[in-house]
Amino acid sequence: MLLVEIGQANTTQGGNMKQESMKIDAGGEAIDLEVIRAKYAEERDKRLRRDGINQYIEISGDFSEFGKDPYVAEDLKRDPVVETVEILILGGGFSGIIGAKKLIEAGFEDIRIIENGGNFGGTWYWNRYPGAQCDVESYMYLPFLEETGYMPKEKYSGADEIREYQYHLGKTFGLYDKALFQTHVSELTWDEARTRWIVRTDRDDEIQARFVIMACGNLHRPKLPGIPGIMEFQGKMFHTSRWDHSYTGDDLSKLADKKVALVGTGATGVQCVPFIAEKAQQLNVFQRTPSVVAARNNQKTDPDWFKDLQAGWQRERRENFYSLVSGVPQEVDLVQDGWTEIMRILGSVLYKADDAEGAAKRSKQDIDLAMEYADAERMMQVRNRIEEIVQSHEVAENLKPWFRFFCKRPTFNDGYLQAFNRPNVTLVDTKGLGVERITPTGVVSGGVEYPTDLIVFATGFEVGTDYSRQLGLTITGTDGLTLSDHWDEDYQTLHGISINRFPNLMVIGQVQSVGGANIVLASETQADYIVELMKETRRKRAKRFEPTDEAVSAWVEHFHEKGLKNEEFLRNCTPGYYNNEGQPGERKGFISARYGAGLFAFNELVEQWRKDGFEGMTFQLEQD
Ligand code: NDP
């Protein structure tokens, strides 16, 4: 063990940090922050591109096939629905299910849910690629476990189990009768005279709804890389979120004589690789930026442990996890996984060797520096793990990520690195440049063409593009104003939920609201907010609400003030959707659309806002 003294030069300013407590076990290697920072900057600069998010191709026109639902046997035939409802929810994933369940519980029964897919599930409906699994612990991620009594099979649930659980929630909460599946909402138009939204769909439905909740998810519209020649390819290709089981076989056995090219090594690519590797004749993994691949350590749930959990356990567990990953020290780490590991390292640096009182007095600068060291140590563990597992030195070097742990979505897998020891798997490292070209018969990188039968695009989802484009939907508010125009430069919301000029419209999602690794928790928080707003609307006998321009401006300003720290962090990161492909100043990026002060601050602020009488929200009464 080598103990490294940290912050000798920079941290004494805080005055309260004892030198002997500022040492970390660097696993036998000294951590030189200057060297690490320079390496991170070099790797980032290699990947920065002028075109940012515009490098990707939208799935429309010639590329529409990539978006088709492969999981429904035949296109549904039904008559158009013409009806008037109180609340329309767009989306039947976790956000839609949670929103509907909570509203019904609060006495709002007249609800219609419209969903693109053939069933409930949202992201878990679409993502059925081999190995799809939730990286967030199931005991925290799956909602309403205390109510349903459902015991997840494992610490990390597979996609099939999650999807089944969503179907179960749909049945338990009586949501199937309210749902229209395989239906795409194409237009939402506010009708001031009727004080209602007019909702049009691709099945000629015409629904009038007094209130609309957008529960459409954040990473749902697949995107393709802007690689020249895609449409010239003569073999088979699909996006991971539209897996064609008829081509691969459910067990992938049809890949036995196929050469597969996998483009993308984010959370999805990492999960698929071990499964394709096992079955394909040849797998070529095209990597632009290596991911952090930490250990998975999945375990079966111990029924005795689960049975003994006390009322309120899920909330406690979620809050403990949220605190830890947000940098708020806790006495215990209930989840103890790869997400909270950094904080365990930090805790051993800052809190164990010292008393809590001393820790509390430390300056923010001291803490930030200690965090950077904890991060550096964590990343060193990640790189060391690659060396231990991957036999080829060259491949191991190419798989090493050089950025801070939370710069990109970390991944957790016990089969990915091992796959590169197989003779039928090749890592094609594109040196940060990405795939060069696609020909009718192969994929080209570094001037070499790799013959290919199947291209799997694990290239992620639209983030930061125009909201209406992400949804494939035109939303028109008062005086003919479209949401695209209203949000042209930046989102305009109150608390990320309601929108000026768009009365009675609410959002569960990531537009200036709370986020986090456990997105389901964020959805529950937003659904609770919506329930309170709806209850207030009913209590007042109001038919319309809308936030004032002033309230929206104040929230937007406050929101960006709180996000500045994130922006600084993200600027030093290698590009990806977290930092809007290297342009973190852009206000509609993924992380920059999350409330920087975190969940607890958000809850406090909102509670005060309610106590103060929903300040900034205008309600129009029934008789007005
Ligand atoms: P990502 O956007 O994270 O990854 C896309 C990948 O495609 C990156 O590796 C990217 O490289 C690569 N890429 C893009 N363009 C090219 C190109 N021209 N040539 C070569 N490679 C290219 O998408 P994912 O689907 O992996 O993940 C999206 C998100 O979905 C995750 O971050 C996570 O939030 C969620 N998810 C959650 C899971 C869970 O457990 N809950 C499981 C799986 C996904 P580069 O990094 O250089 O941009």
Q: Is residue 370 part of a domain?
A: no
Q: Are 169 and 524 in contact (CB under 8 A)?
A: no
Q: Is 460 left (phi over 0), alpha (psi -120 to 50) or beta?
A: left
Tally the domains of the chain.
2
Which atom number of ligand 1 is nearest to the Cα of residue 578?
32
Pair 193, 291 in one domain: no
Q: What is the CATH number of the domain that holds 292?
A: 3.50.50.60
Å from CA of 458 to ligand 1 middle: 6
Nearest to 452 by CA among 233, 238, 277, 266: 233
Segment 372-394 mean pLDDT: 95
CA 106 to chain CA centroid, Å, is 28
CA distances from 160 to 82, 92, 328, 517 (A): 34, 16, 34, 20
Residue nearest (by alpha carbon) to ligand 1 atom 33? 267
Q: Is residue 330 part of a domain?
A: no
Å from CA of 26 to ligand 1 middle: 30
Pair 186, 241 in one domain: no
Q: Are 130 and 272 in contact (CB under 8 A)?
A: yes
Segment 319-346 mean pLDDT: 84
Interior CA angle at 517 toward 353 and 561, to 5°? 85
Q: Which of 154-158, 268-272, 462-466 has the lowest mean pLDDT?
A: 462-466
Residue nearest (by alpha carbon) to ligand 1 atom 41? 134
Last residue of a domain, one of 408, 435, 457: 457
Sequence-ordered list of residues with C-beta below 8 angstroms from that of 391, at least 6 positions apart, any chain: 421
**Which residue type does 203 have?**
R
**Best mutation site among 459, 577, 591 for ligand 1 pocket (most ligand atoms within 8 Å of CB):** 459
Last residue of a domain, one of 457, 482, 516: 457
Pair 419, 271 in one domain: yes
What is the span of the domain harbouring residue 390? 224-296+383-457
Reported as a single tens digit per residue, the pLDDT across 249-278 is: 999 999 999 999 999 999 999 999 999 999
CA distances from 233 to 62, 281, 291, 444 (A): 13, 20, 27, 12
Q: Is residue 39 part of a domain?
A: no
Radius of gyration of the chain (CA): 25
Segment 439-446 mean pLDDT: 98
User: Residue 111 has what pLDDT?
Assistant: 98
Å from CA of 267 to ligand 1 middle: 6
User: Residue 351 has what pLDDT?
Assistant: 53
Pair 431, 291 in one domain: yes
Pair 106, 89 in one domain: yes
User: Residue 469 has what pLDDT?
Assistant: 83
CB atoms under 10 Å from CB of 184, counted, come to 14
C-alpha span between 514 and 526 (Å, rounded): 8
User: Residue 297 has what pLDDT?
Assistant: 94
Reported as a single tens digit per residue, the pLDDT across 226-245 is: 999 999 999 999 999 999 99
Sequence-ordered list of residues with C-beta below 8 angstroms from that of 397, at least 6 positions apart, any chain: none
User: Residue 356 has what pLDDT?
Assistant: 55
Statement: residue 136 has pLDDT above 60? yes
Average pLDDT, the chain: 91
Q: CA torsion 29→34→40→45, rounded to 10°?
A: -150
Structure tokens at 217: 């998810």
Residue nearest (by alpha carbon) to ligand 1 atom 3? 266
Last residue of a domain, one of 457, 490, 514: 457
Q: Is residue 366 part of a domain?
A: no
More reliable by pLDDT, 70 or 10 = 70
User: Residue 121 has what pLDDT?
Assistant: 98
Pair 524, 596 in one domain: yes
C-alpha span between 462 and 444 (Å, rounded): 24
**Best mutation site among 136, 157, 409 for ligand 1 pocket (most ligand atoms within 8 Å of CB):** 409
Q: Is residue 63 part of a domain?
A: no
Pair 214, 234 in one domain: no
CB atoms under 10 Å from CB of 424, counted, come to 16
For every residue of 287-307, which 3-state class applies, written as one string?
ECCCCCEECCCCCECCHHHHH
Residue count of the chain: 624
Pair 582, 538 in one domain: yes
Pair 264, 175 in one domain: no
Which atom number of ligand 1 is nearest to the Cα of residue 434?
19
Indicate the pLDDT class of residue 347, thresholds 50, 70 and 90. Answer: low
Structure tokens at 114: 């419209």
Q: Is residue 496 part of a domain?
A: yes
C-alpha span between 521 and 524 (Å, rounded): 5
Report percent pLDDT > 90 for the chain: 77
Reported as a single tens digit per residue, the pLDDT across 10-30 is: 333 333 333 333 444 444 567
Structure tokens at 155: 């610490």
Indicate the pLDDT class of residue 36, thresholds 50, 70 and 90. Answer: very high
Reported as a single tens digit per residue, the pLDDT across 73-93 is: 877 889 999 999 999 999 999
Q: For ligand 1, which residues put their CB under 6 angstroms from it?
A: 133-136, 219, 225, 227, 263-269, 271, 286, 288-289, 409, 430, 434-435, 458-461, 576-577
Å from CA of 411 to ligand 1 middle: 10
Structure tokens at 17: 């940090």
Q: Is residue 556 part of a domain?
A: yes
Å from CA of 299 to ligand 1 middle: 25
Structure tokens at 28: 């036998």
**Best mutation site among 219, 273, 443 for ligand 1 pocket (most ligand atoms within 8 Å of CB):** 219
Residue nearest (by alpha carbon) to ligand 1 atom 23? 460
Å from CA of 581 to ligand 1 middle: 12
Pair 168, 247 in one domain: no
Å from CA of 489 to ligand 1 middle: 25
Pair 243, 114 in one domain: no
C-alpha span between 600 and 584 (Å, rounded): 24
Residue nearest (by alpha carbon) to ligand 1 atom 1? 460
Pair 288, 392 in one domain: yes
Which residue in the block uniquely carries the two structure tokens 């005055």? 15
Structure tokens at 277: 């590797």
Segment 195-206 mean pLDDT: 97
Å from CA of 591 to ligand 1 middle: 15
User: Residue 549 has what pLDDT?
Assistant: 98
Q: Is residue 415 part of a domain?
A: yes
Report percent pLDDT > 70 for the chain: 93
Q: Which of 363-377, 454-468, 508-522 has the lowest mean pLDDT?
A: 363-377
Which residue in the block uniquely carries the two structure tokens 């996984």? 337
pTM (two decimals)? 0.93
Å from CA of 372 to ligand 1 middle: 25
Indicate the pLDDT class of residue 4, thresholds 50, 70 and 90. Answer: very low
Reported as a single tens digit per residue, the pLDDT across 413-436 is: 999 999 999 999 999 999 999 999
Residue nearest (by alpha carbon) to ligand 1 atom 15? 225
User: Residue 457 has what pLDDT?
Assistant: 98
User: Residue 360 has what pLDDT?
Assistant: 58
Å from CA of 291 to ligand 1 middle: 9
